[in-house]
Amino acid sequence: MNAERELIDLDAPLAADFHPVIRLIIGGIAERVDFAFEEIDDLQLAVERLLAEAGRRETVHLRFEVAEEAIRARVGPLDEQAIAAALRDGDARPGQLTLERILTTVVDSFGVENAVDGGVVVRLEKRKAYL
């Protein structure tokens, strides 16, 4: 893998029928950087849970940046209120699973940015565990 960024951009319908297609694409991208089965599964789960929180939107843009030892994903625009509510972990009861808890477990880092045309974009980074 060279040091240059490799980008894959995808506009996809948010309908659940297309989630397997998105999972398959993530799997294909992650395979190129030799992610382990479990790491691919984690990244797929993170994106899938974000799509579930997208709010009332019809399409979503996904950008994957392939680095030497990591994949960075940008998912959005997503509904700001829906994502804010899903990420609010402060008052979570024991045993309650928030999106924040899920993302903290399955990716190495994540963050939220304002999208240009409204809504928010969620950034995810998943690094290879076994180098």
Partner 1 sequence: MSPAHHRSSSPSQARREDRELLRRYHDDGDTSAREELIERHLPLVRSLARRYSGRGESLEDIEQVGAIGLIKAIDRFELSRDVSLATYATPNVVGEIKRHFRDKGWAIRVPRALQELNASMSGAIERLTGRLGRSPSIAEIAEELKTTPEEVLEAMEVGSAYSTVSLSTGPSGEEELDPLETIGEEDEGFERSEDRVSLEPAFERLHEREREILRMRFEEGLPQTQIAQAVGLSQMHVSRLIRKSLAEMREELT
Q: Which residues bind partner 1 (CB under 8 A)?
A: 20, 23-24, 27-28, 30-31, 34-41, 44-45, 48-49, 52-53, 95-97, 101-102, 105, 129-130
Other Cβ atoms within 10 Å of 77 Cβ, number: 22
Q: Give me the least distance between CB of 60 and partner 1, in Å please.
A: 16
Query: Which CB atom, from 7 or from 92, has the smaller least distance to partner 1?
Result: 92
Q: Give me the least distance between CB of 94 and partner 1, in Å please.
A: 8
At residue 105, φ and ψ (nearest 5 deg) are: -75, -40
DSSP H or E run through 38? helix 37-52
Distance CA 9, CA 111 (A): 19
Q: Give me the least distance between CB of 17 and partner 1, in Å please.
A: 11
Q: Give me the least distance between CB of 35 and partner 1, in Å please.
A: 7
Query: Which CB atom, from 58 or from 117, has the smaller least distance to partner 1?
Result: 58
In a 10 Å sphere around its CB, with 0-12 CB exposed, 13-18 middle and 19+ buried, how is residue 42 labelled? Answer: buried
